[in-house]
Structure 1
Amino acid sequence: MTQTPRLVATDLDGTLVGRDRTVSPRTVEVLHRLDAAGIVIVLVTGRPIRWLHPVYDQLTVRPIAICANGAATYDPSTDSIVHSTPIEPVTLAEICSRLRATVPGVVFAVERDGGREMRHEEEFPVGPWEVNHESVGPVTHEELLTRPAAKLLVRAGVQQPDEFTALVGACLDGLGEATNSSSSGMVEVSAVGVTKATALARVAREHAVPSAEVVAFGDMPNDLAMLAWAGRGVAMANGHPAVLAAAHDVTTATNEDDGVAVYLESLYRY
């Protein structure tokens, strides 16, 4: 990268957001200054839309969000999905059939409408904060496959995340994209060709910003494609080993110590 970036793209969990799910005042201030200076800010996350609002509530800016690992692009100013690339029901059924035939004890959930709604098989574990939530609930396996899904979520008990992701990816055989973004052993499947990078490239084109003028931050395997696409892909100091190895640069501080803010202050000379 030979010039100051005109677009800043950042993952949320493990990157911009701390373990306590907060965005620090320092980070909020840096993003506010960038926005005021005309820098395009894009949130790029695996989170579903229903998990975005606690982040927006902490910010003084309202950037576009690429969510569900690139399957949906969300505009908070209009509360609308401006672009969506879901897994269609026929493909969803084929993916589940292949995984059922290969992975013992596999269970599924789907994020629909960019993640405004989640439906899961009865045995699929959900977080305590979402139990009995009106947009989250159990359905039969057949019902799971009746509508397009932003993401298919795959679990099979306790699994080593990277190995399980590789197993799921092998089963897909070109039907979708498999990745992971946590240590829980859950694999996230998107439509074929859908990644954070493809969605970010689309948003950047809309702002007439080439990849060479994009700086992107991330910490987990679902960020790899985005960091490779950006002119400057920056891994968090707390990042997954594969991300640390692949990034152009690494922050000096973790997400718990304002790593993104520290890096941006230096990059833009605040």
Structure 2
Amino acid sequence: MTLKKLIAIDLDGTTLNAQSLISGTTEKTLKKAIKNGHYVSIVTGRPYRMSGQFYRQLGLATPMVNFNGALVHMPEKQWADEKETGIQRDLVFDILAQKKALNLDFVAAENKETFFIDSLEYFDSTFFASEATPSNLLTAKNLIADPTSMMVRTSQNQAKQVSDSLMKQYGDYVDVRTWGGPTPILEIVSKGIQKAKGVEQVANYLNVKRSDIIAFGDEHNDEEMLDYVGWGVAMKNATEQIKSVANDITEKTNDEDGLADYLERYLDLNEQ
């Protein structure tokens, strides 16, 4: 009998390759794991709009974690345990006022259903997985409720500086996380929100013990998750910090199907 594992997978820099896609090899391996009785759950900094396609590609039926843990939900279904944690609306406009001083390309605020961006100049329909209209502009008139998350983009070499500045000013109310992967996106969520808490909620719902959770990640926002689970795996392309908290490291990068390669051996999927 196979002991059921919960496989918690980060997307950018982990499950996704350099083209931000799940390769055929990785898809096949994850589906094989599900067929063998294991659970797969996506745990990402991305909003659902920009990650739902991967949920559908893998044919998942498990809860999903978005916004680094600020939203735990069952896609396309009503779920009594759904949890969404917001940040104060005023804080959004406070940060927007510093856009120039912080060297931000754009400031976006979002919730489960929609998003608001301060300028359509940086709007990219592929990136945002949506079309934008004037109602998506980040204005006091359009943003009437507390958003689940904020997203700001800066340059790769200024990301740490921006993150430090935001934490210095608003660290009592929010946490600032990086998306990972090639995009210098910073995600701003309510204080104390982290992927580990989302994974814990998913595991409790699926009745999987903490010791039976395996998680894969590559970036700062995966640290608590890899530390929390029974077996935390850092990608070969992960940051040194993430490698230092992981139980193991994949032999291959995200662009070489490192996650699939590791799972095949870890779960003896080749034997099936």
**May I ask how many residue pairs the two structures share in their alignment?**
264
Match of residue 94, structure 1, among 80, 91, 114:
91
Q: Matched residues in 1 for 2:80 and 2:209: separation?
A: 23
Matches within 5 A, 1:83-162: 83-88=82-87, 91-94=88-91, 96-97=93-94, 100=97, 104=101, 105-106=103-104, 107-113=106-112, 116-122=113-119, 125-129=122-126, 130=128, 133-134=131-132, 138-143=136-141, 145-155=143-153, 159-162=157-160
Aligned CA distance change for structure 1 residues 73 and 124 (closer, same or farther; 3 Å): farther
Equivalent residue for 2:189? Answer: 190
Unaligned runs of 5+ in 2: none
Maintained 8 Å contact 1:27/1:258 = yes
Aligned CA distance change for structure 1 residues 56 and 87 (closer, same or farther; 3 Å): closer
Q: Which amino acid aligns with 1:233?
A: G
Aligned CA distance change for structure 1 residues 61 and 108 (closer, same or farther; 3 Å): closer
Maintained 8 Å contact 1:162/1:180 = no
TM-score when normalising by structure 1: 0.84
Question: How far apart are 1:45 and its partner, in Å?
Answer: 0.9
TM-score when normalising by structure 2: 0.84
Question: How far apart are 1:47 and its partner, in Å?
Answer: 1.5
Question: How far apart are 1:75 and its partner, in Å?
Answer: 1.9
Q: Matched residues in 1 for 2:60 and 2:69: separation?
A: 21
Q: Which amino acid aligns with 2:44?
A: T
Look up the SS of the partner of 1:13 in the other structure: helix
Greater shift after overlay, 241-250 or 70-79? 70-79
Question: How far apart are 1:136 and its partner, in Å?
Answer: 8.7
Equivalent residue for 1:43? Answer: 42
Matches within 5 A, 1:1-270: 6-76=5-75, 78=77, 83-88=82-87, 91-94=88-91, 96-97=93-94, 100=97, 104=101, 105-106=103-104, 107-113=106-112, 116-122=113-119, 125-129=122-126, 130=128, 133-134=131-132, 138-143=136-141, 145-155=143-153, 159-182=157-180, 183-270=182-269
Q: Matched residues in 2 for 1:158 and 1:236: separation?
A: 20
Look up the SS of the partner of 1:187 in the other structure: strand
Greater shift after overlay, 204-213 or 98-107? 98-107
Unaligned runs of 5+ in 1: none
Greater shift after overlay, 99-108 or 46-55? 99-108
Maintained 8 Å contact 1:237/1:253 = yes
Look up the SS of the partner of 1:142 in the other structure: coil
Look up the SS of the partner of 1:19 in the other structure: coil
Question: How far apart are 1:109 and its partner, in Å?
Answer: 0.9
Aligned CA distance change for structure 1 residues 98 and 213 (closer, same or farther; 3 Å): same
Aligned CA distance change for structure 1 residues 79 and 15 (closer, same or farther; 3 Å): farther
